[in-house]
Structure 1
């Protein structure tokens, strides 16, 4: 099994990598993508994303799904067969949109969640004689022009994290991660180390420190993701010492209210 660490993103020197987590739409360059937080729950067999070409030229896109793990504080990606993509290659004319289905091939055990990354690569149009009959391959040496990456989470029975207005869910009853943290300083840079002992991922954003009645923003936007059973380290405000942080709070997943983190 081939493990691919985060440098997979550096396929060419001109490659750009975009991650969008909070906007209802992801947009960079000429491609609009939504939704940007798809999930496949236990009773669902598939989900879908939309790709829209807002450029004046046709866009040829390759869509893949990689299994996502976190080990030793690093994101790692590997090829997988749990999720199928249909279609894996699309040609989108200017102003048009394309539906891409993500089909689940596994039965997730109850109370478990698996994480994946959907990679959408904008590529030059491959020659037909370089494609297989089912369109599953691209000619060797193709250079990616733009890359879009969004998370995909597949959950078993008893777990959910995203709102579903058809089910009239209360987001306060969503499955929550179990987080604890440490702060360290190295060469004037502070780092936040977050451990997730829960059953579902944690998406941290809007990180603030609390000292008495004073709230100090540390990270205004996305901090990052911590998968179940993983520990991740994130840089935070430079030139601040760990002793200056009394308590920390952040937005976790889709809960609109800040959650206080537990210190290890």
Structure 2
């Protein structure tokens, strides 16, 4: 249990880093129906030297607005370790081991790590050896699952938050979040990215509203983009 917690903590330090220009991945998010058994991810090595990669899959849940990753055997990747030559590509196979129908949606993270090069002790100074990591979201979805979102403004000790609740049966990704004071015609944008914009099924997140003071007599609206669709709350 302690090892699993340590792994999850380490992965959370790099939740969504995409490889540098030498490495390209497509798609950057995997979504398949629960009636499907497999998918694939294309890896492109655009550098002039080979790279060694390790691929792992973790079940992805959220608790108190924070991501939690847990090792799982539900999904298998083939191969889990590979060497990609310079200017070469490879199609990574992603297979559902557990093919049980999904009621709503299950979420996973596919973690792709670049492994370090062997150390050549004959060289005096080899510089800093930096490993790169990519974290790709993966969803197994029931065809009837739908997105639904609710939002409100909550104030605690003079600090105001946009409270966003995923009440649907599939994940939502916020790519824009703005509080609009319709009384004074002012806007208060909140920065959302793929790092903090995902809300899994049944989850709630609080987003701090900067330079904002809630006034009960004012009329407010939350403008957001959910899964690429503009929405007003």
**TM-score for the superposition, normalised by structure 1:** 0.71
The answer on 1:239 being equivalent to 2:231 is no
CA distance in 1, matches of 2:117, 2:7: 27
The separation in 2 between residues aligned to 1:227 and 1:204, in whole angstroms, is: 11
Distance 1:103 1:81 in 2: 11
The yes-or-no answer on 1:43 pairing with 2:35 is: yes
Q: 1:190, 1:239 within 8 Å by CA — same for their partners in 2? A: no
- Kindly state the Cα deviation for residue 220 of structure 1 after the two structures are TM-superposed: 5.5
The answer to whether structure 1 residue 250 and structure 2 residue 221 are counterparts is no
- Cα distance in 1 for residues equivalent to 2:77 and 2:172: 25
Aligned equivalent of 1:23: none
Aligned-residue CA RMSD in angstroms?
A: 2.9
* Distance change (3 Å), C-alpha of 1:109 and 1:45: closer
Match of 2:179? 209
Q: Partner of 1:7: helix, strand, or coil?
A: helix
Corresponding pairs, count: 217
Q: 1:151 aligns with which of 117, 137, 154?
A: 137
State the Cα distance separating 1:118 from its structure 2 match: 0.9
Inter-partner Cα distance in structure 1 for 2:225 and 2:178: 9
Shift of 1:217: 5.4
1:58 and 2:28 aligned: no
- Structure 1 residue runs without a partner (length 5+): 11-15, 21-25, 128-142, 160-174
Q: Do the aligned residues in 2 keep the contact of 1:4 with 1:77 (CA within 8 Å)?
A: no
Which residue in 2 is equivalent to 1:260?
A: 232
Structure-2 separation of matches of 1:88 and 1:123: 12
SS at match of 1:179: strand
- Aligned partners of 1:189 and 1:239 also within 8 Å: no
Distance 1:245 1:97 in 2: 54
The offset of 1:5, in angstroms, is 7.6
Say whether 1:193 aligns with 2:163.
yes
Rounded to whole Å, the distance in 2 between the matches of 1:103 and 1:178 is 30
CA separation in 2, counterparts of 1:147 and 1:199? 30
Q: Which runs of 5+ in 2 are unaligned?
A: 120-128
> How far off is 1:185 after superposition?
5.7
Q: CA deviation at 1:224?
A: 0.9
> Contact (CA 8 Å) 1:65, 1:119: kept in 2 or not?
yes
Cα–Cα, structure 1 residues 177 and 242, in superposed 2: closer, same or farther, change >3 Å? same
Residue in structure 2 matching 1:17, options 14, 17, 39: 14
